[in-house]
Structure 1
Amino acid sequence: MRPDPPLRALFVINSLAGGGAERVFTTLVEQLSGPRSDFAITVALLDNEAEEAYLLPENVPIERLDAKGGLLRSVRGMRRLVRRSRPDVALSFLSRANVATLAAMRQTGGATVISERVNTTAHLKHGLSGLVSRLLIRRTYPAARQVIAVSQGVARTLETDFAISPDRIRVIHNPVDVDRIRARAALEPAIEVTRDDFVTMGRLVDNKNTAMAIRALATAPARGNLIVLGEGPLREELAHLAASLGLERRVRFAGFLANPHAVLARAGCYLLTSNAEGFPNAMLEAMALALPVVATDCPSGPAEILEVTLGEAPAVFGSGGALVAMDDAQAMATCMGRLIAQDRPAFSEAAAIRAESFSLDQAVGDFRKSLIQAVAANRMAAT
């Protein structure tokens, strides 16, 4: 039953720059706000980005804290905001926002729900900065009323590596708004694409390992191009790699597209080459458009989505595509040839069916329940 009046809810994220976590965050705000909602939502953006890839509903107030990527500035800004707004519950996405929100909410006693979007151990950098980040997470995350993990693999890491009690961890997979994705896919694509082409999508950074897709194309028994959707600091380096392999005409860097779904829907196969994920949105969205995938067995998400275990094999086929060992470009190339040609129809159908398992209504309902339960548990503990 809806609380009356609505709960004051503060939703926190680093920024609305393009990315999977930002897309899910925006979807949740859209779905959980409105005149009949359980929540009166205010959004806090830690950083004031010049360009924002996602738009929030006009009725949702936005606080831009301009922390410039700094943790201490994020904590100070969040403390000022929390003292002023005194939310009943806060929901935060991504590690820096999680730490800053937990630190700020301690002063008011409000309930805090944090959402971990990546495999924390695999994602954090090595060296001193990684050590400090791991220590901060280990010190702060156990104080959350609930920790939402985006996959079972992320949940296991939080429990084993960061000492979070399993009764405070809840797995909520990323939602896939299949109807919206398919409607956008019906529009004209911004670039030319054919069923012979492969697509990969994400920021051009080390963790996404886009170089693996380029190396795989070089030996794949296929004639199509590789379309790279996304921007990042490695673009020039990746273009040089493509040229060195004689692929300058077959690797197309399309940048960030406002509607990538129109391209995905017309391609032949999707490639995920990451070294670490939480639960890959782009892979699921491609599958929702009946695109078979070849994905690396990175921690965490791809194996869970494809419902397979790689073990010692170089590749294994599952529900909608193939799973290959990380950085094994030859195994990826072999699977690319199989999925783009003779086996595409069967895996295309299986991909679309599997994507429908991750419904928008289920995920939104689970987040709503988590926030309401966190407030109830907090109030019970206070009395």
Structure 2
Amino acid sequence: MPSPSPLRALFVINSLVGGGAERVFTTLVEQLSRRPEDIAITVALLDNEAEEAYRLPAGIPIERLNTRGGLLRSITQTRKLVRRLRPDVTLSFLTRANVAAIVALRGTGAPAVISERVNTTAHLRTGRLAFLSRLLIRNTYPTARQIIAVSQGVASTLESDFDVEPQRISVIYNPVDVDGIRDLAARDPAFAVTRADFVTMGRLVDNKNTALAIRALAQARTGGNLIVLGEGPLREDLGALAASLGLADRVRFAGFIANPHAVLARAGCYLLTSNAEGFPNAMMEAMAVGLPVVATDCPSGPAEILQVELDGAPHAFGAGGALVAMDDDAAMARCMTELIGPRRETFSAAAVRRAAAFSVESAVERFRAALMDAARADAGLRPAAEPVRS
């Protein structure tokens, strides 16, 4: 009896330029491709970028589209690709790729599985196109075969604000490759770091609110420095803020470095200052190397990870660190002072234990099952093959 053919899966993402979603996407492709008898993966990159932060495994077919960030071009080019490849299922990451995959698959009978990486309501609260983006999501996401949310907070938002049926939503936390992270952490750092130093990491944009870390450092009763890992349009403004607070020599803007884990492992505390997250990858990677964290109670993820709620208080201590009210520099400063002090090792050990709960193996197997289940549920609904027109 011949072996069944592997599931033909098209994985879609905007690009691999950099970021937490792109890192998780690459990890999934690498892990799932180890069993090609189960799933045969083709990757579609909507934007053909000159530089990429992550490399896909050798042998994975890659379709490089050239949509230049346009939604309509993303939809039409993904539609052409779907008609040519005829996948059994798609898995997409990030909003534009999600919308493109859902629309491109309409009328094909193939199911779209999408992964929502951010708290959609918080992420699209402001901005020139925020209303139109929310309307677009409300008219597409509910028709996806399954939506994989990165946290319970993201899942709840999809249900309450975007009319997605709860049975279409599942929560799979981002995988944390603890062993791989620790291997990288053991290497020499790009520059000297001490246990008195604080680290924050992310793109320098309004949503990441790096200014909060700088203001909190000015109030914290500690002599450590702040290391800022990341690039972005607010770099000059943040440098000016540090200078205005007399912190020009205590805030180091290190930019993007190839191995941030070696820096994280030698620092004293990690700061997450965001106004909105889906699931904070960098925070989990910091915890994996034993770094206590101070995180804002933003939607969504930090409270779930630290297993604590504020309940009206300005701060609360949880599993591996402290949760603080959003944009509260005084509360963050108090917790920075606490976590860098005598109790640091206790919080460090708790951070390591908590990170271990988010294993790569568990997340990968749940993604594999989601793809298999979606394809089986839609088996028999596929229309007869239509001729492919050039």
Is TM-score (shorter-chain normalized) higher than 0.5?
yes
The aligned counterpart of 1:274 is 274
| TM-score, normalisation: structure 1 | 0.98
| TM-score, normalisation: structure 2 | 0.96
SS of 1:336's equivalent in the other structure is: helix
The aligned counterpart of 2:78 is 78
**CA-to-aligned-CA distance 1:4-31 (integer Å, 9 cap, x gap):** 2111110001110111100000000000
The aligned counterpart of 2:155 is 155
Deviation at residue 36 of structure 1 after TM alignment: 3.8
The aligned counterpart of 2:120 is 120
The aligned counterpart of 1:257 is 257
Q: Read off the aligned partner of 1:209 and give its amino acid letter.
A: N
Deviation at residue 107 of structure 1 after TM alignment: 3.4
**CA-to-aligned-CA distance 1:300-344 (integer Å, 9 cap, x gap):** 000000000112100000000000000001100000000001210
**CA-to-aligned-CA distance 1:88-145 (integer Å, 9 cap, x gap):** 0000001110000001011322111000000000001425511110111010011111
Q: Read off the aligned partner of 1:153 and give its amino acid letter.
A: G
**CA-to-aligned-CA distance 1:169-227 (integer Å, 9 cap, x gap):** 00000000100000110000011111010000000000000000000000101111000
**CA-to-aligned-CA distance 1:58-101 (integer Å, 9 cap, x gap):** 11011111111110111111011111111000000011100000
Identify unmatched segments of 5+ residues in structure 1.
none
The aligned counterpart of 1:18 is 18
**d(CA) in 2 for partners of 1:160 and 1:223?**
45
SS of 2:378's equivalent in the other structure is: helix
Question: Does the CA-based 8 Å contact 1:219-1:333 persist in structure 2?
Answer: yes
SS of 1:227's equivalent in the other structure is: strand
**d(CA) in 2 for partners of 1:177 and 1:252?**
27
The aligned counterpart of 2:318 is 318
The answer to whether residue 114 in structure 2 is matched with residue 144 in structure 1 is no
Question: Does the CA-based 8 Å contact 2:5-2:37 persist in structure 1?
Answer: no
**d(CA) in 1 for partners of 2:252 and 2:55?**
28
**d(CA) in 2 for partners of 1:128 and 1:228?**
29
The aligned counterpart of 2:373 is 373
**Residues 327-346 of structure 1 correspond to what in structure 2 (within 5 A)?**
327-346=327-346
Q: Read off the aligned partner of 2:271 and give its amino acid letter.
A: L
Deviation at residue 35 of structure 1 after TM alignment: 5.5
Question: Does the CA-based 8 Å contact 1:3-1:38 persist in structure 2?
Answer: no
Q: Read off the aligned partner of 1:203 and give its amino acid letter.
A: R
The aligned counterpart of 1:230 is 230
Deviation at residue 37 of structure 1 after TM alignment: 4.0
The aligned counterpart of 1:213 is 213
SS of 2:379's equivalent in the other structure is: helix
**d(CA) in 1 for partners of 2:3 and 2:125?**
42
Q: Read off the aligned partner of 1:20 and give its amino acid letter.
A: G
**d(CA) in 2 for partners of 1:17 and 1:344?**
35
Deviation at residue 382 of structure 1 after TM alignment: 5.8
Deviation at residue 292 of structure 1 after TM alignment: 0.2
Question: Does the CA-based 8 Å contact 1:204-1:235 persist in structure 2?
Answer: yes
**d(CA) in 2 for partners of 1:15 and 1:117?**
15
The aligned counterpart of 1:33 is 33
SS of 2:313's equivalent in the other structure is: coil
1:377 to 1:3, Cα distance in 2 relative to 1, 3 A: farther
Quick one: percent identity of the two aligned structures? 71
Deviation at residue 381 of structure 1 after TM alignment: 5.3
Q: Read off the aligned partner of 2:123 and give its amino acid letter.
A: H
Q: Read off the aligned partner of 2:80 and give its amino acid letter.
A: R
Deviation at residue 3 of structure 1 after TM alignment: 7.4
Displacement over 6 Å in runs of 4+: none
**d(CA) in 1 for partners of 2:36 and 2:99?**
31
**d(CA) in 1 for partners of 2:34 and 2:221?**
51
Question: Does the CA-based 8 Å contact 2:110-2:382 persist in structure 1?
Answer: no
Indicate the RMSD between aligned Cα atoms, in angstroms: 1.3
The aligned counterpart of 2:387 is none
**d(CA) in 2 for partners of 1:367 and 1:34?**
14
